[in-house]
């Protein structure tokens, strides 16, 4: 059996990041910029006042004599004239500083009398002018590959770039398989269960920016699987759940070739998730997840989400890990990397759930993290540091 890291590498090898599309800034949050976005203007586009006050010449500040106010400059309303010796212009924050003026004096440091302006002797000596291009200049750019955050989108707007090329959102087709399944809301017979995996997988996919298409439930026949897989046409990734194990009715594994799967691997040294498979289903990358709901969600987190992020232009990277201190001991781990459902405590420590069976959806719902146990990890005591994946 291959390791989790090898399996993830093999999945990345099946994928090619998608092409780009142009989207309005309002829809670009979290998307990956597909080409450099270059500023079309300087910001500020002129020397701008930083304060409400008066624009005047340096020489007049030294002299201290009363100044004649010759006009007004406000944001969006420039003063077109020249500030000469002995003159000042009433100015407001954001207004272009008029020609001839060297500085802005805050209004708190001035006095007006008979229409003449006097600057107090101990006025603040800062110029209070934001230089043209001091924020960014024509030709400055936001680089290709940037994952766009709200602050980036604000910057792009300010650069007068209303839309940007971003990597397309991957479309994932999600197929649940099994004769026992009925859709949520239906009336199950006594031997049936509710198909819960698809909603979990679809929302996991959407949380990393993908578009999820839930396909109709497939029955455990080659014909039904073929018909449902045909509906995945056009998807960038097909993700199946169930039918991955060795039972007579586990057709995805048993009839993989017949269904058109060119398998890259089958079975991974992990727990839960051992019967994982991946390959190309009639040319489309495919990940086959085990049907147990917790196995599905753990593999969705460890394999599907990184795969979708990679398709969407992000780096080929595993699910992010962090460190936490143990609030309860852990037994020795076996020959498979174990992703233990665990709770984060208010003090930041982590405690594994008592029951780790891969069918327990309530335990998964109550968990905040997966503790990652390396193959053959020794018993761990309270206070030791472990790696976790937050979920
Ligand atoms: N002889 C062996 N038996 C099993 C092995 C093994 O190595 N040898 N592995 C076990 C492990 S580990 C897993 S995981 C499961 C995975 O099996 P499948 O992928 O074939 O899953 P199913 O048999 O179809 O379903 C398992 C379980 O999950 C329920 N299920 C399936 N789909 C859904 C769904 N969409 N929503 C909710 N629940 C679902 C299903 O009813 C079963 O209870 O195999 C072990 N067996
Ligand atoms: O690998 Mo299964 O997913 O352990 O329950």
> Are 179 and 248 within 8 A, CB to CB?
no
Residues 6 or more apart whose Cβ sits within 8 Å of residue 377: 330, 332, 333, 338
Say if 317 falls within a structural domain: no
Instruction: Tell me: do 9 and 70 sit in the same domain.
Output: no
Q: How far is the CA of 241 from the centre of ligand 1 (A)?
A: 9
Q: How far is the CA of 231 from the centre of ligand 1 (A)?
A: 23
Q: What pTM was computed for the model?
A: 0.90
Answer with the one of 281, 311, 341 that is the final residue of a domain: 311
Pocket residue to mutate for ligand 1, from 174, 175, 177, 178, most atoms within 8 A of Cβ: 178
Would you state the pLDDT for residue 241?
96
Q: For the purposes of burial, counting CB atoms within 10 Å of the CB of 298, is it exposed (0-12), middle (13-18) or buried (19 or more)?
A: buried
Give bridge partners of residue 259 from the DSSP assignment. Answer: none
Of all ligands present, the nearest one to the C-alpha of 220 is 1
181-182/193-194 β-pairing: parallel
Q: Is the peptide bond before 347 cis (omega within 30 degrees of 0)?
A: no
Pocket residues: Cβ below 6 A from ligand 2: 271-274, 290, 292, 295, 358
Instruction: Tell me: do 333 and 348 sit in the same domain.
Output: yes
Please say if the pLDDT value at position 63 is more than 80: no
C-alpha to C-alpha distance for 391 and 297, rounded to whole angstroms: 10
Pocket residue to mutate for ligand 1, from 204, 221, 242, most atoms within 8 A of Cβ: 242
Arithmetic mean of pLDDT, 80-86: 97
Residues 6 or more apart whose Cβ sits within 8 Å of residue 348: 324, 325
Would you state the pLDDT for residue 206?
97
- Tens of pLDDT along 221-242? 999 999 999 999 999 999 999 9
Instruction: Tell me: do 39 and 153 sit in the same domain.
Output: yes
Q: How far is the CA of 275 from the centre of ligand 1 (A)?
A: 9
> Are 286 and 279 within 8 A, CB to CB?
yes
* Cβ neighbours, 10 Å, residue 268: 27
Answer with the one of 284, 311, 338 that is the final residue of a domain: 311
Say if 316 falls within a structural domain: no
Arithmetic mean of pLDDT, 357-378: 97
For the CA of 195, the closest atom of ligand 1 is 36
Residues 6 or more apart whose Cβ sits within 8 Å of residue 318: 5, 8, 302, 306
Answer with the one of 245, 279, 311 that is the final residue of a domain: 311
Mean pLDDT computed over every residue of the chain? 96
Instruction: Tell me: do 204 and 172 sit in the same domain.
Output: yes
Instruction: Tell me: do 183 and 251 sit in the same domain.
Output: yes
Say if 75 falls within a structural domain: yes
Instruction: Tell me: do 294 and 368 sit in the same domain.
Output: no
Say if 140 falls within a structural domain: yes
Alpha helices (H) in 18-133, listed in sequence order = 58-63
For the CA of 176, the closest atom of ligand 1 is 35
Say if 33 falls within a structural domain: yes
369-373/385-390 β-pairing: antiparallel
Reported as a pLDDT band with limits 50, 70 and 90, residue 121 is: confident
Instruction: Tell me: do 123 and 148 sit in the same domain.
Output: no
Give bridge partners of residue 222 from the DSSP assignment. Answer: none
C-alpha to C-alpha distance for 372 and 355, rounded to whole angstroms: 16
**Which residues constitute the domain of residue 288?**
4-18+168-311
Instruction: Tell me: do 214 and 270 sit in the same domain.
Output: yes
* CATH number of the structural domain spanning residue 153: 3.90.105.10
Instruction: Tell me: do 84 and 141 sit in the same domain.
Output: no
Say if 258 falls within a structural domain: yes
- Tens of pLDDT along 309-350? 999 999 999 999 999 999 999 999 999 999 999 999 999 999
Reported as a pLDDT band with limits 50, 70 and 90, residue 256 is: confident
Instruction: Tell me: do 381 and 249 sit in the same domain.
Output: no
Rg (CA), the chain: 32
For the CA of 180, the closest atom of ligand 1 is 41
- Tens of pLDDT along 273-309? 999 999 999 999 999 999 999 999 999 999 999 999 9
> Are 145 and 313 within 8 A, CB to CB?
yes
Pocket residues: Cβ below 6 A from ligand 1: 176, 178, 180-181, 193, 195-198, 241-246, 250, 272, 274-275, 290-293, 295, 358
How many structural domains does the chain have? 4
Say if 183 falls within a structural domain: yes
Pocket residue to mutate for ligand 2, from 271, 291, 356, 370, most atoms within 8 A of Cβ: 271
- Tens of pLDDT along 123-169? 888 999 999 999 999 999 999 999 999 999 999 999 999 999 999 99
Instruction: Tell me: do 244 and 336 sit in the same domain.
Output: no
Quote the tokens at residue 112: 């007006």
Of all ligands present, the nearest one to the C-alpha of 270 is 2
């Amino acid at each position: 059996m291959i390791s989790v890291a090898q399996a993830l590498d093999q999945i990345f090898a099946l994928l090619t990041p998608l092409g780009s599309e142009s989207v309005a800034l309002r829809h670009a949050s979290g998307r990956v910029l597909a080409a450099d976005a270059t500023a079309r203007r300087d910001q500020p586009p002129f020397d701008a006042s930083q304060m409400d006050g008066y624009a005047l010449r340096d020489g007049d500040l030294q002299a201290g004599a009363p100044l004649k106010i010759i006009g007004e400059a406000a944001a969006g309303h420039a003063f077109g004239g020249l500030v000469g010796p002995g003159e000042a212009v009433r100015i407001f924050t954001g207004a272009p500083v008029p020609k001839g003026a060297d500085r802005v004096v805050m209004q708190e440091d001035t006095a007006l009398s008979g229409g003449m302006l006097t600057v107090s002797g101990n006025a603040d000596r800062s110029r209070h002018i934001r230089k043209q291009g001091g924020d960014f200049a024509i030709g400055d750019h936001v680089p290709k590959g940037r994952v766009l955050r709200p602050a980036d989108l604000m910057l792009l707007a300010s650069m007068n770039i209303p839309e940007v090329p971003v990597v397309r959102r991957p479309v994932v087709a999600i197929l649940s398989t099994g004769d026992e399944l009925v859709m949520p809301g239906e009336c199950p017979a006594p031997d049936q269960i509710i198909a819960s995996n698809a909603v979990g997988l679809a929302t996991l996919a959407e949380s990393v920016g993908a578009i999820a298409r839930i396909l109709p439930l497939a029955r455990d026949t080659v014909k039904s699987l073929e018909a449902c897989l045909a509906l995945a046409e056009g998807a960038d990734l097909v993700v199946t759940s169930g039918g991955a194990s060795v039972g007579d009715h586990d057709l995805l594994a048993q009839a993989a070739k017949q269904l058109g799967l060119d398998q890259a691997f089958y079975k991974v040294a992990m727990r839960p998730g051992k019967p994982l498979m991946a390959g190309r289903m009639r040319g489309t990358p495919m990940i086959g997840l085990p049907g147990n709901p917790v196995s599905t969600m753990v593999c969705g987190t460890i394999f599907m989400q990184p795969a979708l992020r990679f398709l969407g232009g992000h780096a080929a990277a595993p699910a992010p890990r962090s460190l936490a201190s143990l609030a309860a001991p852990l037994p020795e781990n076996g020959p498979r990397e174990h992703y233990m459902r665990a709770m984060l405590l208010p003090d930041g420590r982590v405690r594994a759930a008592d029951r780790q069976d891969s069918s327990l959806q309530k335990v998964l719902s109550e968990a905040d993290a997966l503790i990652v146990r390396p193959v053959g990890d020794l018993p761990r005591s309270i206070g030791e540091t472990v790696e976790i994946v937050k979920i």
